[in-house]
Structure 1
């Protein structure tokens, strides 16, 4: 299954070039399993769906750990019918992701509970889009139930859900939402913004 993300990083600093270049270095451990391409707009990550959010987490933490106000914007997709299958994108069919909804919610909560803590406080807002035919609203409501019990749920907003907490559990929650809701072989998209060190925390 083709899976990947277009990721843009925005450090609010005069030293934005240095911060971005240093942060991209945090992707080095993922290069063996990913195709990574950077241009003047974004960085493309193509690879195993279960490693996309850990890679984005490490990229963002590398930029924000110094105290600079940083924002990450990403569009994440798996199973896109307009993209070719890629041998570095491993499928998720026939796994724990193809279970009844209550079992997936319980597994997602367990994964968030065991996520490493990074000591970096972040806020995130995202929208999940399980595309195609079928019971997509059941999947969305199941995801909302998971989010409200994740420990990092902040509130529902127009068109999106807001999360707040340590970067480890927040990115784990985003990953679980992306992987466990929507058909395992269906097209699922996620629109994401993450912020750290904001001067206007609301």
Structure 2
């Protein structure tokens, strides 16, 4: 398959519970989440999920929320990618309907940072500024920093922003996109949020 043709989206991430029972927290979060709409593989470093965008973001949020429900400080770091899949292992999941498998309205504060990399797009800075301004308009912008932008708020609002930013940063002429995300949940530094 030619690079940039497949609509498949991928997310490779690592979950870091700040707890002695970190293995249990990770395995429980992965096990409790309905991953039937995505292709998933976990190794000793990270997990990758691939499929339709709506399902990849749904599963990513559900895993983070499941881990957060332990009340333990959780860090998540990962990379969303589109436009150059490199293999076809998850292509069968593109036939799934758009009905999401994980629905949980639990409120959860998240502090995070993201960086957009619109590949081969000479107007990449305009795209990044546009999405940062949209974060400000939507009330999830937290801070400007080197190499990233801070995004915070309820986990549902944060993931909704990330999914929209991911969609908005791609175009028919520039389909290859990478977006990195780092999250901190239940941190003592959040001041009881």
The TM-score, its normalising length taken from structure 1, stands at 0.79
| Maintained 8 Å contact 1:126/1:160 | yes
**Partner Cα separation in structure 1 for residue 139 and residue 93 of structure 2:** 30
After superposition, what is the alpha-carbon deviation per residue over 1:65-123, rounded to whole angstroms, capped at 9, x for unaligned?
A: 1210000110110002x6145534649xxxxxxxxxxxxxxxxxxxxxxxx85311110
2:190 is paired with a residue of what secondary structure? coil
Match of 1:24 among 30, 41, 59: 30
After superposition, what is the alpha-carbon deviation per residue over 1:1-45, rounded to whole angstroms, capped at 9, x for unaligned?
A: 232011110000111111111100133x232x2110011001110
**Partner Cα separation in structure 2 for residue 20 and residue 119 of structure 1:** 20
1:83 is paired with a residue of what secondary structure? coil
- Identify the residue that residue 3 of structure 2 maps to in structure 1: none
Give the stretch that moved more between structures: 117-126 or 35-44: 117-126
**Partner Cα separation in structure 1 for residue 128 and residue 157 of structure 2:** 20
1:200 is paired with a residue of what secondary structure? helix
| Maintained 8 Å contact 2:118/2:177 | yes
After superposition, what is the alpha-carbon deviation per residue over 1:37-67, rounded to whole angstroms, capped at 9, x for unaligned?
A: 0110011101112222221111011011121
The 4+ residue runs of structure 1 with deviation greater than 3 A are 88-91
Q: How many residues align?
A: 176
Match of 2:129 among 122, 133, 141: 141
Which runs of 5 or more residues in structure 2 are unaligned?
A: 1-5, 96-103
Superposition RMSD on alpha carbons, in Å?
Answer: 2.2
The TM-score, its normalising length taken from structure 2, stands at 0.83
- Identify the residue that residue 109 of structure 1 maps to in structure 2: none
Which runs of 5 or more residues in structure 1 are unaligned?
A: 92-115
